[in-house]
Amino acid sequence: MKTFYLETFGCQMNAHDSEKVVGTLVGQGYEQVDEPAAAELVLYNTCSIRDKAEQKVFHRLQQFKREGGRGKVIGLLGCVAQQEGEKIFERAPFVNLVCGSASYNRFSELLVQIENGARRVTGLSLDTQDTFETPLTRRDNPNRAFLTIIEGCDKACSYCVVPFTRGPERSRTSQSVLREARELADMGYTEIQLLGQNVNSYRDPSAAGLNFAQLLNKVGQVPGIRRVRFTTSHPRDFTKDIIDAIDENPVLCNHVHLPVQSGSNSTLSRMQRLYTRDEYLRRIEWMKKSSRNIAITTDIIVGFPGETEAEFAETLALIDEVEYESMFSFKYSPRPNTAAVKMDDSLDETEKSRRLTIVQEKQRAIQIRRNAELIGSREEVMIEGFNKNTLQWIGRTSQHRTLNFTALEDASLKVGEYRHVLVTRSGPNSLVGELA
Ligand code: SF4
């Protein structure tokens, strides 16, 4: 039996791509193993969103340098593969396969070339209208299923590598998305997470011509599906009908991740984000007026080239104004091929770290206060696991909050079930409760 090892770095898109790559390999008679040492085929699905992520991959490859990859086929997939391309063979001559995500439909064929003796093969074209769909997908999460609806991105945010590593936007037909959603429900999944670099710009290429809000609603009507989530949204394409859909259909989770990146118009303009602070806040207002009490989360970049103290203060003021449920915050990291890499990145690491700490401390205080407001409330959770150390069940609310709770032994709870929990305590990142 041919064996393979696959390690995945980066975002949910990469995680789901890996699920499909594994499905392709298993379909071609390969068996997955847990250690690279035990595998004939060693694959890394890579991320290049920040320099650190990229360095991790080349560090992993070092272990094969000594043996020169003898007796193994070594492959790089994903964003670093696409970004660096054939240069990877110079930097790591023992690598045999380099394939970007826009070429995954050719992955089987590349494997056959390797099996037929080819020493180096590549899949690096971005010129495609295809989306990566496989007959077999090995899903890691038994309760929540990823479902990609759109790949690539047509935006050009000046700090972002995605357009260069994942190619132009291409949406799947609504028929193929809904067929997969029904198959997932038949497999017993109750929660679906729709994925895309920018799900809001979904445009159904079929005659049905659904937009994102219409597709979201249709997925939310698939029998057996109790929760539908989606990520990632872009404020420019985030339309009111998405909120209307969430208001009308309780299956659509009341959580929206809407990355703002900065609260300053001048920084947003240098970032080429295509919206202003006011246009962004208008979308926040739609959500705050919703009858579904929508949880709002975001991404923030600090230390973007040229970010003045005044611009940074505008970001802090926006955080105070929106009061996010949670946030991912990062220091600006220059990336190859992006417009920002040519900008004067004069803020030193110490200053970037100082600003990041201020943002994170401010957000932490907001989360402590907002989570405390939920003490005494009754929340429905999907049970995701059991923590043997704390003897607590791990639940997730529709708002995407973690709610750890206790239950009497005879409560006969199961992972994947939905139960109501009374919130008794709270912390900065999670809630604590007892089975209601
Ligand atoms: S919308 Fe901007 S940040 Fe998001 S993937 Fe596209 S280019 Fe990158």
What spacing in Å lies between the alpha carbon of 117 and ligand 1's midpoint?
Answer: 38
The residue behind tokens 């991912």 is 328
Cis previous bond, 232, omega within 30: yes
Which architecture does CATH list for 284-373? Answer: 2-Layer Sandwich (3.30)
Model confidence over 125-171: pLDDT tens digits? 998 888 888 888 999 998 999 999 999 999 999 999 999 999 999 99
The segment(s) of the chain belonging to CATH 3.30.750.210 are 141-253
Helix axis angle, 212-219 relative to 174-186, nearest 10°? Answer: 20
Which 8-state DSSP code applies to residue 172?
Answer: P
What spacing in Å lies between the alpha carbon of 157 and ligand 1's midpoint?
Answer: 6
State the DSSP H helix or E strand holding residue 229, giving kind and residue range, or none if neither.
Answer: strand 227-231
Which atom, in ligand 1's list, is nearest to the CA of 261?
Answer: 3
* 57 contacts 24 by C-beta, under 8 angstroms: no
The segment(s) of the chain belonging to CATH 3.40.50.12160 are 2-123
Angle at 389 between CA 384 and CA 395, to 5 degrees: 20
Pairing of strands 431-435, 378-387: unpaired
Secondary-structure class of domain 2-123 per CATH: alpha beta
Q: From atom 8 of ligand 1, which residue's Cα is the shortest distance away?
A: 160
- Report residues whose beta carbon is within 6 angstroms of any ligand 1 atom: 153, 155, 157, 160, 162-163, 197-198, 234
In this prediction, residue 275 carries a pLDDT of 98
Model confidence over 60-106: pLDDT tens digits? 888 776 666 678 999 999 999 999 999 999 989 999 999 999 999 99
In this prediction, residue 129 carries a pLDDT of 84
> Ligand 1, from 234, 272, 337: best to mutate by most atoms within 8 Å of Cβ?
234
Model confidence over 308-342: pLDDT tens digits? 999 999 999 999 999 999 999 999 989 999 999 99
Secondary-structure class of domain 141-253 per CATH: alpha beta
Mean pLDDT of the chain: 94
Cβ neighbours around 377 below 10 Å, total: 12
CA distances from 294 to 36, 125, 233, 301 (A): 43, 40, 15, 23
Q: The domain 378-435 is classified under which CATH number: 2.40.50.140, 1.20.58.340, 3.40.50.300, 3.90.1150.10?
A: 2.40.50.140
Cβ neighbours around 311 below 10 Å, total: 18
Nearest Cα residue to 263 out of 322, 343, 305, 328: 322
Q: Which residues of the chain fall below pLDDT 50?
A: none
Q: From atom 4 of ligand 1, which residue's Cα is the shortest distance away?
A: 197
What spacing in Å lies between the alpha carbon of 333 and ligand 1's midpoint?
Answer: 15
CA atoms within 13 A on the CB side of 132: 33
Q: Which residues pair with 231 in a beta bridge?
A: 195
Q: What is the pTM of this model?
A: 0.94
In this prediction, residue 66 carries a pLDDT of 66
What spacing in Å lies between the alpha carbon of 55 and ligand 1's midpoint?
Answer: 21
